[in-house]
Amino acid sequence: MQIDILTLFPQVFPTFISSGILQRAIDRELITVNITNIRDYTHDKHHTVDDSPYGGGAGMVLKPEPIFEAVEAIKPDPADRHKVGEFPVILLTPQGRLFSQQIAQELSVYKHLVLICGHYEGVDERVRQHLATDEISIGDYVLIGGELAAMVVVEAVARLIPGVLGSAASPIDDSHANGLLEYPQYTRPQSYRDWDVPEVLLSGNHGEIARWRREQAIIRTWKRRPDLLDKANLNPAEKQFIKRLETEQAEPT
Catalytic center residues: 94, 121, 159, 174
Q: How far is the CB of 57 from ligand SAM (least distance, A)?
A: 10
Q: Which amino acid is at 98?
A: L
Of 29-37, 140-148, 158-166, 220-228: span binding ligand SAM (CB under 6 A): 140-148
Question: Which DSSP string do the residues of 69-110 spell out, in sequence order?
Answer: HHHHTPPPPTTS---TTSS-EEEEEEEEEEP-HHHHHHHHT-
Kindly tell me which residue out of 33, 38, 138, 232 binds ligand SAM, with binding defined by CB under 6 A. Answer: 138
Helices (H) and strands (E) in the chain, counts: 9, 9
Query: Rounded to 5 degrees, what angle do the CA atoms 84, 10, 120 make?
Result: 90
Site membership for ligand SAM, residue 139 (CB under 6 A): yes
Residue 1 or 91: the one with the smaller Cβ distance to ligand SAM is 91
Strands 112-117 and 89-98: parallel
Q: How far is the CB of 63 from ligand SAM (least distance, A)?
A: 13
Q: How far is the CB of 94 from ligand SAM (least distance, A)?
A: 4
Query: If DSSP codes are grouped into helix, strand and coil, which group holds residue 37?
Result: strand
CB atoms within 10 A of CB 56: 6
How many residues sit close enough to ligand SAM to count as binding (CB under 6 A)? 20
Q: Is the peptide bond before 14 cis (omega within 30 degrees of 0)?
A: no
Site membership for ligand SAM, residue 121 (CB under 6 A): yes
Q: Do the Cβ atoms of 153 and 146 come closer than 8 Å? A: no
Kindly tell me which residue out of 2, 7, 36, 93 binds ligand SAM, with binding defined by CB under 6 A. Answer: 93
Q: Do the Cβ atoms of 36 and 7 come closer than 8 Å? A: yes
Site membership for ligand SAM, residue 145 (CB under 6 A): yes
Of 1-9, 89-97, 180-188, 189-197: span binding ligand SAM (CB under 6 A): 89-97
With a CB cutoff of 8 Å and minimum separation 6, the contacts of 207 are none
Kindly tell me which residue out of 31, 92, 104, 156 binds ligand SAM, with binding defined by CB under 6 A. Answer: 92
Kindly tell me which residue out of 19, 23, 95, 190 binds ligand SAM, with binding defined by CB under 6 A. Answer: 95
With CB atoms as reference, the residue minimizing the distance to ligand SAM is: 118
Site membership for ligand SAM, residue 52 (CB under 6 A): no
List helix spans (H) across 159-205.
Answer: none
Q: How far is the CB of 38 from ligand SAM (least distance, A)?
A: 12
Contact set for ligand SAM, span 202-221 (CB under 6 A): none
Contact set for ligand SAM, span 149-188 (CB under 6 A): 149
Query: If DSSP codes are grouped into helix, strand and coil, which group holds residue 209?
Result: helix
- Residue ranges that bind ligand SAM, judged by CB under 6 A: 92-95, 117-119, 121-123, 137-139, 141-146, 149
